[in-house]
Homo-oligomer: A and B are copies of this chain.
Amino acid sequence: MSANNHQYRLAARPVGMTKDSDWKYTEEPVGEPADGLLLIKVLYISLDPAMRGWINEAKSYIQPVGIGEVMRAGAAGRVVASKNEKFAVGDYVAGAFGVQEYAISDGSGVTKVDTRIAPLPVYLGTLGMPGMTAYFGLLEIGKPKPGETLVVSAAAGAVGSVVGQIGKIKGCRVVGIAGGPEKCQYVVKELGFDAAVDYKQEDVYSALRKHCPSGVDIYFDNVGGDILDIVLAQLNRGARIPLCGAISQYNHPEKIQGPKNYLSLLVNRATLQGFIVFDFAQHYGEAAAQMAGWLLGGKLKSREDIVDGLQTFPETFLKLFRGENFGKLLIKVADE
């Protein structure tokens, strides 16, 4: 390959929201893969809220991205050179290829994907990490039963939209919380949620009271903050809260807002349980097959918010924290 590879590397540990100077745009020649390796041309990069956690210094469930390293990200692309017998030139693949145009890999953690079942971007959303997060978080931690009421925040997002749709498949009453009338209409009219609450315009407490007349049995929490407290105050006995994320809190890790209504867990014998999708990796295959079936059967709809150009990365990333994306946020890096 005579092309150059462009990359975003972490330049500084961000304080609060990331800013342009936290990133460094670099260029290096694309190498030939050595024996056992493959070279991937990245076509789409996934932008996920969890990435904000990966660039804090604190030890977490995964090593922090080091200063100077290519920013970690899920991505999908095509194999353009291979000295690994498991992959052939032309294969479509997904993996943690990072925020760059080309990636060299030894194939570990790389999945071949079938673009006849779903377009490539879907493998970064509903059939990718966000979809797996929704699937295992709801089914294994939330344990939905028919007739129960499920509330999900960030309901129009990559995870929340799948959580709500699986909730409907499992026979729950599903109420989404999202920002703005467009997202609220989308989850009700397109995705089949029973109701949606616009947290930017409505009083969330009374809107939930109205839409959850039998209380809340499962709250799939993507946001933390005030909304977590509001839902805690409406839990039913034996409620489950899969703790998936806290996007309202990620940009000020030094002063996280703890849930002041957490004693509702006590009086309602309820459970707040954290989970990490990676723990379910050995079951991704079954889940993906199930989800692909739902997609093909029209029970599950997928929406991507695709922004063009690697160089938009510093700005596009911020859309997540401003609630500006609508569906799974991706950067399109190149045409095939």
Contact = CB atoms under 8 A, between A and B. Distances in A.
A262 B260 contact: no
B246 A263 contact: yes
A262 B262 contact: yes
B265 A274 contact: yes
Nearest to A271: B273
Contact of A272 (B224, B271, B276): B271
Interface residues of A, number: 32
Nearest to A62: B267
A190 interface: no
B263 A262 contact: no
A180 interface: no
A269 B258 contact: no
A88 B136 CA distance: 57
Contacts of A261: 256, 258
Contacts of A229: 258
A314 interface: no
A275 B238 CA distance: 9
A14 interface: no
A331 interface: no
Contacts of A259: 258-259, 262
A240 B245 CA distance: 19
Nearest to A246: B263
B279 A275 contact: no
Contacts of A244: 266
Contacts of A256: 260-263
Contacts of A275: 266, 269
Contacts of A266: 243-246, 274-276
Interface string A258-300: 1111111111111111111001000000000000000000000
Contact of A265 (B264, B270, B273, B279): B273
B272 A262 contact: yes
Contacts of A260: 255-258
Contact of A267 (B263, B269, B274): B274
A82 B272 CA distance: 47
A334 B244 CA distance: 55
Nearest to A278: B269
A265 to B, nearest CB: 4
Given A256-B260, A268-B274, 20 more contacts: A60-B267, A61-B268, A229-B258, A245-B266, A246-B266, A249-B263, A256-B263, A257-B258, A258-B261, A259-B259, A262-B272, A265-B273, A267-B274, A267-B276, A269-B273, A269-B274, A269-B275, A269-B276, A269-B279, A270-B274
Ranked 10 nearest A-B pairs via Cβ: A258-B258, A266-B274, A265-B274, A258-B260, A258-B259, A271-B273, A61-B267, A272-B272, A256-B260, A60-B267
Interface of A: 60-61, 224, 229, 243-246, 249, 255-276, 279
23 contacts: A224-B263, A243-B262, A243-B263, A243-B266, A246-B266, A256-B262, A258-B260, A258-B262, A259-B259, A259-B262, A262-B272, A263-B274, A265-B272, A265-B274, A266-B274, A266-B276, A268-B274, A269-B273, A269-B275, A269-B279, A270-B273, A271-B272, A271-B274
